[in-house]
Amino acid sequence: MAQPDDTRYGVFLMPDAKTSAAVTSITGFVRAQFGLVSASRFPPHLTLAGSLPIAVGEEDLREVVNGVAGRHVPFEIWNNGIRRLGDAAVVFDVHRVASGEPNAALIDLAADVAHAVQPFLRPVDSLPADIPGRQNWRGHLSLASHELLDRTDLRDEVEVFIHQLDVPHPSSFPAQLVAVFRLHHQSWSGPWWTCFRWEHLRSFRLGNS
């Protein structure tokens, strides 16, 4: 019998309180204005590895994430403002440092998480794990996301609207906490982002200090 695919996991880097407040404010306005719910359904976060269907226990996952966190010291993340991610999603771009170069410390952390959790993954027929690989991974905080894949007519309008909100946010914040979340959905198919649930399981401090 196939294993029920109702529980996934996410390994997220958590923003500081003021950045979290900015994301929460913007996603709430987007939901109120356009009915786009996907970004507001998640906690404010930067995905290191998402939608993980694991074949091991939660304790094993938490242990390996704690190990990754311990190998990386805290570092700075720069918020380069509102950008489009690909053709659709509107995000805070946090992939680069102030000089415009990719943030090597951030990319190294994401790659380390991906490498550590890869052996834990089990095969699924539904939504695949969100581990795009080092070259394709982009650090971001979502402001409007899944629905814009189909709503091509709204992409420009939503981006302009978010800019016009002019919600203040810090220009940078310290990367300090990596958290493991448990995610629930009956099938991880269709517009799953409208009705999934999440639980915060544990946060781990970089450098374990």
pLDDT digits (tens, 9 = 90+) for 21-66: 999 999 999 999 999 999 999 999 999 999 999 999 999 999 999 9
pLDDT bin (cut points 50, 70, 90) of residue 90 is very high
Specify the CATH class of 7-208 in words: alpha beta
**106-120 burial: b if 16+ Cβ within 10 Å, else e:** bbebbbbbbebbeeb
Dig out the tokens for 181 from the structure.
Answer: 């979340």
- Indicate the average pLDDT of the chain: 95
pTM over 0.85: yes
**Residue 121, strand partner residues:** 54
> Above pLDDT 90, what percent of the chain?
94
